[in-house]
Amino acid sequence: MRKEFLPFSIPTIEEEEIQEVVDSLKSGWITTGPKVKRFEDDFKAYVDSPFAVPLSSATAGLHLALLAMGIGAGDEVITTPMTFAATVNVMLHVGATPVFADIEPGTLNIDVRAIRKKITERTKAIVPVHFAGLPCDMDAIFALAKEFNLQILEDAAHAIGTEYKGKRIGSFDTVSVFSFHPIKNITTGEGGMVCTRDEKLAEEVSLLKFHGMSREAWKRYSAQGTPNYDIVLPGFKYNMMDIQAALGIHQLRKLDSFIEQRTKIAEFYNAAFAEVEEILTPSAAPYAYRHAWHLYTPLVRIEKLTIDRDAFMAELKKENIGTGLHFKAVHHHPYYRENLPVSPGELPHADYASERIFSLPLFPKMVMEDAKDVVEAVKNVLARTRK
């Protein structure tokens, strides 16, 4: 058995990131300033998006995106139940009604045929989540959006570096939102980015992110700025700080090498579990893409074991292997069970995955020996819990 605990995720923070933060601290400019602007420009170039707005989190980005898209009371928004609750919480914040469409059982991405079934006269937008870094079928989603005149908001929290048919997520004619939380593919501590090709929408998000103060308001304390300002609407406080962007600037340069390492580990897991009957590995999609491998999320077939998924994860911990849960389906959480109930059997694939899914360690600093320890631990647990 492995001697030291292997956590499910550790960010890779190196000397460049640390020195850049120190530089910000010593410069006296800590919050939104030149480094946020640099990170915004670098990110736009990386994903190939003409406009990007850096924010304090992806949750903030999803919230402001919905507001800027004009979504509110009386509107329905269709999304996947296999996501982090933030995707859905923000719909409630703007007064809209979330509607769940079931997932594909293999990729765990939203099933476009299921979206079609949930469209009503009140439907205003589709919010696909590129689960674990595997892109949703954007062509099919665009076709549906066009047919029913719907907007598309991509929850791209897992998809920094993901490509669909040769194009980066972030470059499509939608609104897309990325996360830089420490477990995501790159981190700024906390942070998010809204990307769009719509200049007006980007301006609206910019305005909303900082009290409703006109653009470039942060310059009012610099030599070029003036201290006066105008509030043109009641905004929020969702801006990114320079000390966050300091991390992001260096993280972004390493993203492709991070994804390369993540891919090696994920492919090793796929091969190692291919013949293990109790483990269902994530499926590939039938179109060209680059997987960003934010997460490695197999399903454990608990019907073949004497324990449930939570106990299975506890057994892995005894083997010194950390795991994560991404995700318990949103409609299984108490708030949603009570306030947004779905009928039994309405989301069968999400229900199946929700009870069986778990996340294995996957981060760029992992070496192949770590991955081998993980596989061995899974096999050990299966050997003692098989029916």
Interface ranges with ligand PLP (CB under 6 A): 57-59, 83-84, 86-87, 129, 155, 157-158, 179, 181, 192
- Closer to ligand PLP by CB, 154 or 351: give it: 154
**Dist. CA 20–CA 246, nearest whole Å:** 5
- Closer to ligand PLP by CB, 192 or 364: give it: 192
DSSP codes joined into one string, 133-174: GPPP-HHHHHHHHHHHT-EEEEE-TT-TT-EETTEETTSSSS
Angstrom CA distances, 112 to 109, 151, 176, 344, 368, stand at 9, 15, 18, 21, 36
C-beta of residue 273 within 8 angstroms of C-beta of residue 360:
no
**Of 136, 127, 141, 144, residue with least CA distance to 91:** 127
Please pick, among 44, 124, 167, 184, the residue that the annotation labels catalytic. 184
State the nearest-atom distance from the C-beta of 133 to ligand PLP, in Å.
Answer: 10
- Closer to ligand PLP by CB, 192 or 248: give it: 192
DSSP state of 100: E
- Closer to ligand PLP by CB, 24 or 179: give it: 179
- The SS3 call for residue 36 is helix
State the nearest-atom distance from the C-beta of 192 to ligand PLP, in Å.
Answer: 5
Told to judge if 219 belongs to the known catalytic residues of this protein, a careful annotator would answer: no
Alpha helices in 179-285 (DSSP H): 199-209, 242-273
State the nearest-atom distance from the C-beta of 139 to ligand PLP, in Å.
Answer: 21
State the nearest-atom distance from the C-beta of 58 to ligand PLP, in Å.
Answer: 3
Q: Which residues are catalytic?
A: 184
